[in-house]
Structure 1
Amino acid sequence: MRQRNKPWADDFLMEHQEIVIAEPKENKGKWKKIFGNTNPIHLEIGTGKGQFIVGMADQYPGINFIGIEMAKSIIVDAAQKVIGSEQQNVLLVNENANDLEEFFAENEVSTIYLNFSDPWPKNRHEKRRLSYYTFLAQYQNVLSGNGELIMKTDNRSLFEYSLVSFSTYGLQLEEVSLDLHQLNDATNVMTEYEEKFSNKGQPIYRCTAKF
C-alpha cells in the first residue's frame, strides 16, 4: 500500500531523537544502557503505525520494546503514539531490517515479533520475505539462547511458507494457530492490520518458534 508523503517527517524525527534513535549502529550492545535498566528487550520488525508495540509496552512495563520501521511516513505515526502514551519502555528505529546485526549484538534480544509482514508473493521476491533463511540467520544471532520468534499474519501462503522455512532451518515450533482469535487469548495485542482483517472475519495465523 502506497503511503502518503509527509513533508514534515524529517523535522519531526529530528525533534524526537529520544524516541526514534538516529544512529542505532552506535547503540549495538548498549540498548539496556539506553533504556536505563536491565529488562529484557523485545524487537518488532515492521512496527507500522505503532499500535502493537505501544499496547505491548503498556501491558508489559518490565520489558523494553524496540520497533523497526523503514518508512518515515509510517514511523512518525508510531512515534506520535509513543509520545501520547508516555511510555518509557519503547524506542523506535527508522532503518531496514536487512541490517539487523549492525544494530544488535549477539544474544541482546529476548523476543522478535514479525507482525503482518509483506508476503512478497512472487517467487523472484522470496529473499525479501522476513522468514527467509538469511533473515532467520540474523534473528538467531541477535536472540538470546532461549529467545522466541513470534509471527502473526493474515496471509495463509506466507504462513505456510514460513512454517516450512522455520522447520527447514531447524527451529522448534512451540505454537501454531490457524485461527488466533478463536483462542480468546487475553494477552494478545492487535496490530492495526489485525484489527482490520479480523473485523472482516478473516482468520489470523500465529506461530511461536525457538532456535
Structure 2
Amino acid sequence: MRRRKKPGAKEKLLTHELHLCKEPEKYKGHWQGYFLEKKPIHVELGTGRGQFITTLAAKHPDINFIGIEIKEEILLKAVEKAVAQGLRNVTFLWYDVNKLDQVFAEGELNRIYINFCDPWPKARMAKRRLTHRNFIEKYKTFMGEQGEIHFKTDNEKLFEFSLNEFAACDLRLKNIIFDLHQSDMKDNTTTEYEDKFAAMGMKIYRCEGRKRN
C-alpha cells in the first residue's frame, strides 16, 4: 500500500535549522565538529516519532545522538519533540539507511540502535532486513573499538534471524532478553511502538552485539 504524504510536512520539516542536518554528506568523518561539544555518538536507524532518541538525549547530555528517518511527516514529529525539550545534543537526518556509507566514516560511531524495524517476513526479502549481515558488516566499519548495536523487536522470527546474523558477523552477543517487560532490566527506554505492543501483552525481544577488538 502506497504511503500518503501529509501536505506541508516537508516544508515544515525543512524550517528546523537546529535539529535537522540537511546535507549530512558534508559531515562524513567530521560529525564531532557538527555538534556543540565532542562526545560519543549514538545513532538510531528508523527513529520514527522520536520518543526513544529524545528520551535518551535528555537522560544523557554526555552523548550526541543522531536519528535517521526517511518518512518526512513522521520525522517532523521527532524533530518537534527535540525542539520542545530544547535538546542540543540530538540532530536528525531525513535519509535512507541504505546510504549510510555516504554520511559516516570508519570508526566514527559508538553505538547504533535498531528498534522495531520492518521484518520483511518473506525469505526472498531477507537482505532488506536491517539486521542482515550485509548491513551489519557496514555498521561495523562505522563503529569504533567496542562499538555496539542494540536491537529490539516484537517479531520472534526476526529476533532469531538477527541473533544468527550478529553471530555470523563476529559480534559478541550479550544481554539477550526474550521478554523485556518481564525481565529485571533497569532503565529501559521505550519507543512508541514498544509501549503499544507491551500494553497488548506482546513480548519484546532485545539483544546487544559488541564489536570485537
* Range class of TM-score, shorter chain: over 0.9
What's the offset of the Cα at 1:146?
A: 0.8
The residue aligned with 2:118 is: 118
Query: Counterparts of 1:44 and 1:182 in 2: how far apart (Å)?
Result: 24
Query: Counterparts of 2:43 and 2:146 in 1: how far apart (Å)?
Result: 15
Using structure 1 for the length normalisation, give the TM-score: 0.96
2:10–2:73 Cα contact (<8 Å) kept: no
Deviations 1:153-175 (A, max 9, x none): 10001000000111112111022
1:48–1:74 Cα contact (<8 Å) kept: yes
Query: Counterparts of 1:177 and 1:2 in 2: how far apart (Å)?
Result: 34
What's the offset of the Cα at 1:137?
A: 1.2
Query: Counterparts of 2:170 and 2:206 in 1: how far apart (Å)?
Result: 18
Q: Aligned pair count?
A: 211
**One-letter identity of the residue aligned with 1:46:** G
What's the offset of the Cα at 1:32?
A: 1.4
Deviations 1:84-131 (A, max 9, x none): 111111100011111111111111110000000000001111111001
After TM superposition, list the pairs within 5 Å mapping 1:94-113 onto structure 2: 94-113=94-113
Q: Which moved more, 1:74-83 or 1:189-198?
A: 74-83
The sequence identity of aligned pairs, in percent, is 43
Aligned-pair RMSD on alpha carbons? 1.3
Using structure 2 for the length normalisation, give the TM-score: 0.95
1:115–1:151 Cα contact (<8 Å) kept: yes
Q: Does 1:83 align with 2:86?
A: no
Q: Which moved more, 1:27-36 or 1:37-46?
A: 27-36
Query: Counterparts of 1:80 and 1:186 in 2: how far apart (Å)?
Result: 28
Consecutive unaligned residues in structure 1, runs of 5 or more: none
**One-letter identity of the residue aligned with 1:205:** Y
The residue aligned with 1:7 is: 7
Q: Which moved more, 1:180-189 or 1:32-41?
A: 180-189
For the structure 1 residues 163 and 100, does the alpha-carbon distance in structure 2 shift closer, same or farther, using more than 3 Å as the test?
same
What's the offset of the Cα at 1:4?
A: 4.6
Q: Which moved more, 1:178-187 or 1:196-205?
A: 178-187
1:107–1:145 Cα contact (<8 Å) kept: yes
Q: Does 1:187 align with 2:187?
A: yes
The residue aligned with 1:165 is: 165
For the structure 1 residues 48 and 81, does the alpha-carbon distance in structure 2 shift closer, same or farther, using more than 3 Å as the test?
same
Consecutive unaligned residues in structure 2, runs of 5 or more: none
1:45–1:68 Cα contact (<8 Å) kept: yes
Query: Counterparts of 1:2 and 1:80 in 2: how far apart (Å)?
Result: 25
